[in-house]
Structure 1
Amino acid sequence: MSISLQNIRLAYGSRTLLENVSADIPAATLTAFLGRNGTGKSSLLHAIAGLNKVSEGEIRLCGRPLAALEAKQLAATVSFVATDKLRIANLTCEQMVALGRAPYTDWLGRMRETDRAAVRRALETVGLTDYAAKTMDTLSDGECQRAMIARALAQDTPVILLDEPTAFLDLPNRYAMVSLLARLARDEGKCVLFSTHDLEIALSHCDAVLLIDTPQLRHIPASEVASSGAIERLFAGSGVTYDPAAKRLRPAER
């Protein structure tokens, strides 16, 4: 499995977010990470990326314990696209994507032809070849998000994690973004896990859903979500109901 969570306990201060949860996420799949605000989606993504630690249990990436991976090995195994946008005026789109090659360059960061080819290929994959010379502060939100994904592609890792990649995008760009992630998973063989609140888009494009229902975590094939009752339980008492036919949440009737 590309990502294996084994008996994980995740806490925030004195509050337990997840208790004794396990899940296995294979390669070549797109998985949406769903849950209400404050339930630990970002915290767990950061833990899988090696940016913070779980309280108990073990995370394994591509069969190896996360804790045993050295920094360079970790950087060659998992890439992480955060919600932050890099709006640096003097940094071109191509230069930002080239940062993904850091695990493979020498100590001076010198790029070889294989590195430059990886950057060009990443820009082409996300449709930003014509934007290579543009500075990051001139890109739209959607273009900036695609550039961040291109950086992850240039990093050439088997596991890609994204925290709310569709946030702040309009509806057409949200669909385009998740379609791109699905293509990366299926055509490139990547294990792609992303957190989102876009339930309809997630269920129509993803292979599976990772669902936090504190303190539990459920890994459900997308085709079984409607019949599982998991979404209805998750949002019970929240003022919305789940319409399985439309695969979307609607305001609850009064």
Structure 2
Amino acid sequence: MKTIEIKNLITGYHQKNKEIYKVGNYPSLTLNKGDFVTLIGRNGIGKSTLLKTLSGDIPPIEGEVKINGTPIHQLDNITRSKLISFVLPNVQINGRLTVEEVVMLGRYPYINWWGKTSDDDKLSVIRALESVQAMHLKNRDITTLSDGEKQKVMIARALAQDTPIIFLDESTAHLDLPNRVEVFQLLKIIARKSQKTILLSTHEIEMSLQVADYIWLLQKGKCTFGTPDLLVSKNTIREVFNSNYVGFDKESGVFKFCSIEKQFSFGIELDVSVKDYLGHQDVDIRILWLIKKFISEGCDESKDADVQIKLLYSTDNELLEWNVTYKNKTLIYQDHDNLNLYNQINKDFFS
């Protein structure tokens, strides 16, 4: 079921000199009930402008946005606030409010002009806190929370507002990785269980590819819409985000560091003796991440490499050893915690 429909939408601003500054052109887009959609694109491409236009905060330059079949410009503020809730990054709450009081702010469209809350309002707050697994924070002062906890509270406030549509603008930007993952998973669960339409503007591209139902990808003033697997298979992600310093690997779904300056080619192999190694490190994982390091420095992995690297296990002294050969010169490096193999090779062979 469609909750938002976009037809021939041009976003932008009316500037002080009365000139129109156009940002994006979106002929046809929809958001459906129960979908968790992420909005991605490079900085300055118009993600926040699109969100503000969809929510009715700024008028479109041209075209139309419909909410449940009704043009958004025909809806008054109270009606819109019962349809769309908006979670912004780094919202500053003034005053020493408890978490419960902050979440109760989401009930403002339903509270009478006397400002008296009802049992239904209180129940909505409890359910919202439970949905984001934050009931244990209910009586805490909002100023004492971590960034991750505050973000959960802001999402709970949006849930308490009881809207079918939730927009979030860079809501995970200042969170650490575990909290970013948790917020993504929470939003997906909320969309599924509560059948809400959730649109999240984010720079978490890799996470979006794994978690989102659909992706809106903004590029050059337009929007490409599709499932993550479709956008990856059509090389759309790579085309938009690849640069001289980073490249998207469509097989692994992650971005890899690149270098403008090309270095030597290399090859790494394990000697049969390594099978006798009984130490604490996972040798295969070590090799995998070593390859990533060399590639990030501008080295190419090749079968006919300039630099041949072999890892051996010395049973005499029970140590791993790196045998490195370049042209007719071979050096042996004993493996230890402080060994940076790339730096050592660069220093001994190419300086």
Normalising by the smaller structure, the TM-score range is: over 0.9
| Alpha-carbon contact 1:32-1:194 (below 8 Å) kept | yes
| Alpha-carbon contact 1:17-1:214 (below 8 Å) kept | no
| Alpha-carbon contact 1:34-1:197 (below 8 Å) kept | yes
TM-score using structure 2 length: 0.70
Instruction: Identify the match of residue 119 of structure 1 among 125, 132, 143.
Output: 125
Q: Distance in 1 between matches of 2:97 and 2:58?
A: 28
The one-letter code sitting in structure 2 at the alignment partner of 1:11 is G
Q: How far apart are residue 198 of structure 1 and its match? A: 0.8
Identity %: 35
The structure-2 alpha-carbon separation of the partners of 1:108 and 1:32, relative to structure 1 and needing over 3 Å to count, comes to same
User: What's 1:52 paired with?
Assistant: 58
Q: Distance in 1 between matches of 2:147 and 2:66?
A: 33
Aligned partner of residue 43 in structure 1, secondary structure: helix
User: What's 1:11 paired with?
Assistant: 12
Q: Distance in 1 between matches of 2:35 and 2:98?
A: 31
Aligned partner of residue 86 in structure 1, secondary structure: coil
| Alpha-carbon contact 2:103-2:157 (below 8 Å) kept | yes
Aligned partner of residue 166 in structure 1, secondary structure: coil
Q: How far apart are residue 179 of structure 1 and its match? A: 0.1
| Alpha-carbon contact 1:86-1:136 (below 8 Å) kept | no
1:68 equivalent in alignment to 2:74: yes
Q: How far apart are residue 11 of structure 1 and its match? A: 2.2
Instruction: Identify the match of residue 94 of structure 1 among 84, 89, 100.
Output: 100
Aligned partner of residue 215 in structure 2, secondary structure: strand
1:74-132 per-residue CA deviation (whole Å, 9 max, x = no partner) reads 01100000113234341111101001111111112211101100001101111111111
1:177-221 per-residue CA deviation (whole Å, 9 max, x = no partner) reads 000000011111000000111111111111000010122111111
Aligned ranges 1:229-240 → 2 under 5 Å: 229-237=235-243, 239-240=245-246
TM-score using structure 1 length: 0.95
Q: How far apart are residue 240 of structure 1 and its match? A: 2.0
1:105 equivalent in alignment to 2:106: no
Which stretch of structure 1 is more off in the superposition, 94-103 or 2-11?
2-11
| Alpha-carbon contact 2:216-2:224 (below 8 Å) kept | yes
The structure-2 alpha-carbon separation of the partners of 1:238 and 1:25, relative to structure 1 and needing over 3 Å to count, comes to farther
Q: Distance in 1 between matches of 2:244 and 2:191?
A: 33
Aligned ranges 1:175-254 → 2 under 5 Å: 175-237=181-243, 239-254=245-260
Q: Distance in 2 between matches of 1:238 and 1:159?
A: 38
Q: Distance in 1 between matches of 2:12 and 2:245?
A: 27
Which runs of 5 or more residues in structure 2 are unaligned?
Answer: 261-351
The structure-2 alpha-carbon separation of the partners of 1:155 and 1:23, relative to structure 1 and needing over 3 Å to count, comes to same
Q: Distance in 2 between matches of 1:77 and 1:192?
A: 12
| Alpha-carbon contact 1:199-1:249 (below 8 Å) kept | no
User: What's 1:34 paired with?
Assistant: 40
Question: After TM superposition, where is structure 1 displaced by more than 6 Å over at least 4 residues in a row?
Answer: none
Structure with bigger RCO (C-alpha 8 Å, 6+ apart): 1
1:116-151 per-residue CA deviation (whole Å, 9 max, x = no partner) reads 000011011111111111111101000000000000
1:131 equivalent in alignment to 2:127: no
The structure-2 alpha-carbon separation of the partners of 1:90 and 1:107, relative to structure 1 and needing over 3 Å to count, comes to same
User: What's 2:330 paired with?
Assistant: none
How big is the alpha-carbon RMSD for the aligned residues of Structure 1 and Structure 2?
Answer: 1.5
Q: Count the aligned residue pairs.
A: 254
The structure-2 alpha-carbon separation of the partners of 1:177 and 1:20, relative to structure 1 and needing over 3 Å to count, comes to closer
Q: How far apart are residue 250 of structure 1 and its match? A: 2.1
1:222-247 per-residue CA deviation (whole Å, 9 max, x = no partner) reads 22121122112212446322112222
Q: Distance in 2 between matches of 1:196 and 1:238?
A: 22
Aligned partner of residue 109 in structure 2, secondary structure: helix
Which stretch of structure 1 is more off in the superposition, 144-153 or 129-138?
129-138
The structure-2 alpha-carbon separation of the partners of 1:134 and 1:55, relative to structure 1 and needing over 3 Å to count, comes to same
Aligned partner of residue 108 in structure 2, secondary structure: helix
